[in-house]
Amino acid sequence: MDTETTILDRKTSSDHATLADKFNLDEPRVDWHDKTLWFIRKKRDKAASQLQEWEQLRAVASDIKNNVLANLHTYLLAFERNAQQNGITVHWASDAAEHNKIVHKIIEKTGIKQVVKSKSMLTEECHLNAYLKTQGIEVIDTDLGERIVQLAGEPPSHIVLPCIHWKKEEIGELFSHHLGTPEGNSDPQFLTAAARIHLRQHFMSSRLAITGVNFAVAETGEIVVCTNEGNADLGVQLADVHIACVGIEKIIPLRKHLGVFLRLLARSATGQPITTYSSHFQKPRKGQEMHIVLVDNGRSKRLGSADFRNALKCIRCGACMNTCPVYRRSGGHSYHYAIAGPIGAILAPGLDMKKHADLPFASTLCGSCSNVCPVKIDIHDQLYKWRQLLAQNRKVGITKRVGANTMAYILSHHTLYTFAGTAGRWLMKYVPFIISNRFNPWYKQREMPKPPEHSFARWYHQNRNFK
């Protein structure tokens, strides 16, 4: 199958536009989804505006991350050394498969068959749960939102709010089916209590806990995990073995830098001044085993790209999703990647350009994402740059390519441009059905512009050119 056919085929199955089309079949639900996320954007605005130095904080955070990326090698080795001195076993994984194997090997040695895991987008990126399942190991996600989507057999639709696309009534139904709560009860407090009881059984029985990592401090060899539910702490404190999975870009040089990042993270993510728990794990308890898996999975390659490097500054706050007018109206699953929204759209093509060629086009380039980003990633500029790279690598569908070539040809010749304009206006006026029909996506829900008699150029020639 050649590339062109593949791209044409994908257009009809599972690209962003098609999935967004489906999402938009239920307009009241789109309205609800949009308003829910906009509410969080507003909360973020309010929380940010309470810090006079907000823009300065963003600039400092961006500088720290730029320094990290410029010296990543040094910081990683320092982190490894300090973590090892703290009694932590450090592993290096070059890609998702190696990461999954390392985690599996650690679990296998213990003979444990069921493990608890707090939120980690990295393990979503690596499809760890699915891999461990094939090895006969069950992973219980302990973040409430993640547990909900896990019970539903879905991936998260948002990196901070995994089940933001679920209504409470639907969660009530899901819990009634899986946890045996009374049918028709959708009281959030009741459902949360039910989930608490359910998860507590797993916390008590699981001897191995996996966590993600928000920040890995090079200076001290410690990791910091931010949660609102305390599920990372509970999992780790009750387990004999703790495995923390971390992308190599999550390094920060000094512990004091947390004073910048912790202030930005929760405010950007949910509008809270700080997450309920900011847990520092520096060394294993007596008798506990602690492992850290440092994962590359395409990050080094990205580091080598001047255009796309600074996407590695991301602290996974999700603010760009909450503000994105496209994300709010297409839903996280329309991005068909572990990380949705604008940041996902610039990360995903780096891993697989062909599979994610549609994502950089799922944007109007409005730029709101870059403005809310707490570490000042130029997200919308990178979307533009991905588009260029995708087109150069012939990963753009044939319709767009022919369209762009035709347009470029016409606009490169003034006479042809004038003729095409006149012809276009004539057609729209006298045979409008040629353009205004069901094959024209513009016309499906919008009227075409009313064609004027003449162009401005003609008017100017007649009215001003005498000068």
Supply the minimum distance, in Å, between the C-beta of residue 278 and other proteins: 23
Supply the minimum distance, in Å, between the C-beta of residue 104 and other proteins: 40
Supply the minimum distance, in Å, between the C-beta of residue 97 and other proteins: 31
Closer to other proteins by CB, 227 or 268: give it: 268
Type of residue found at 296: D
Supply the minimum distance, in Å, between the C-beta of residue 217 and other proteins: 28
Closer to other proteins by CB, 43 or 127: give it: 43
Residues 6 or more apart in contact with residue 335 via CB below 8 angstroms: 16, 327, 341, 344, 345, 348, 359, 362
Closer to other proteins by CB, 255 or 400: give it: 400
State whether residue 211 is helix, strand or coil.
strand
Supply the minimum distance, in Å, between the C-beta of residue 374 and other proteins: 11
Distance between CA 400 and CA 85 in Å, rounded? 56
Helix, strand, coil percent content, the chain, rounded in steps of 5: 55, 10, 35
Supply the minimum distance, in Å, between the C-beta of residue 436 and other proteins: 11
In angstroms, how far is the first alpha carbon of the chain from the final one?
61
Q: What angle do CA 60, 225, 240 make, to 5 degrees?
A: 155
Residues 6 or more apart in contact with residue 90 via CB below 8 angstroms: 80, 83, 84, 291, 292, 294
Type of residue found at 337: Y
Helix/strand number for the chain, H first, E second:
23, 10
Closer to other proteins by CB, 232 or 264: give it: 264
DSSP E strands in 144-217: the ranges are: 208-211, 215-217
Supply the minimum distance, in Å, between the C-beta of residue 311 and other proteins: 18
Distance between CA 316 and CA 454 in Å, rounded? 52
Closer to other proteins by CB, 211 or 334: give it: 334
Closer to other proteins by CB, 286 or 464: give it: 464
Closer to other proteins by CB, 13 or 412: give it: 412
* Residue that the structure tokens 């001044």 belong to: 273
